[in-house]
Amino acid sequence: MISYKTIDYFKPGIIQRLIKNSYQHLIPYFPAEKERFYKQWEQEDKNAFKNPDSIGKHVLFTCLNNIPIGYFSWDDRKYPQGIIGQNCIRADYQNQGYGKKQIELVISKFKESGFHTISVISGDHIFFTPAQKMYLSCGFQEQKRFREDLFEQIEYTKML
């Protein structure tokens, strides 16, 4: 059974472990960047747990039979435009619809709060192809592409 749990159910390190696992197939494309990625993900984890009333309250964990299989985050500070942050699912649970369920839940949260648009960014790299397809299937449309860091990024927007 799927459930969604808040950050207070978990200990620091869970976000880093989930991202590390879900992105494990991206690392071989950029082996020289592995340590930088790990430090970035560690910092995401620290930021969420050090700020439970701000960053941490915009994080949910997807659990299957009470075992965390993914997590997602969002930013509501730019009302009326919502922003989706992370959307990751452990590698052994990917391509089973769990990431889409996370996005659908975030969409409903933004709709209930009266937001007008939602944006999300995904990489333009073969690793991110399933995510790109998922965003399109959830009604997002490509808005622009831009170069950032190792590869081009794609910004998608959905009108609510």
Burial class (CB in 10 A: 0-12, 13-18, 19+), 78: exposed
- The model carries a pTM of 0.93
Fold of 2-159: Aminopeptidase (3.40.630)
Question: What is the spatial distance between Cα 103 and Cα 84, in angstroms, rounded to a whole number?
Answer: 8
**pLDDT computed for residue 96 by the predictor:** 96
What are 57-112's pLDDT values in tens digits?
A: 999 999 999 999 999 999 999 999 999 999 999 999 999 999 999 999 999 999 99
Axis crossing angle, helix 34-50 with helix 14-22, rounded to the nearest 10: 140
**pLDDT computed for residue 47 by the predictor:** 97
CB-based contact 146:153 (threshold 8 Å): yes
Given a cut of 90, whether residue 150 has pLDDT beyond it is no
Domain ranges of the chain: 2-159
